[in-house]
Amino acid sequence: MQTDIHPAYSPVVFRDRSAGWQILTRSTLTSDETVEHEGRSYPVVDVDVSVASHPFWTGRGRVLDSEGRVERFERRFGGAR
């Protein structure tokens, strides 16, 4: 590896405030804000969606289109082939 061209790779806490969920991992992202995690202080990055709040993973998803795309296409264009 070449020296002085790679970003710093250090421990960071990713936090989803809407679900009250956080995870400690390593990243090149940085933040001025810090949070206590397992007795130590780490930089924190707030995320909008995580595995704890995404509808697919939580089972709270909604079906926005009850009609399938193929059926809608055939209804619009007569299914001419």
> Between the CA of residue 76 and those of 21, 46, 73, 81, what are the distances in Å?
45, 44, 5, 13
Predicted confidence (pLDDT) per residue in 24-72, tens digit: 999 999 899 999 999 999 999 998 888 777 766 666 666 666 667 778 7
The tokens of 39 are what?
A: 């007795």
Q: Long-range pairs for 2-8 at CB < 8 Å and ≥24 separation? A: none
pLDDT band at 4 (very low <50, low <70, confident <90, very high): confident
pTM: 0.63
Q: Quote the Cα angle for 2-30-26, to 5°.
A: 70
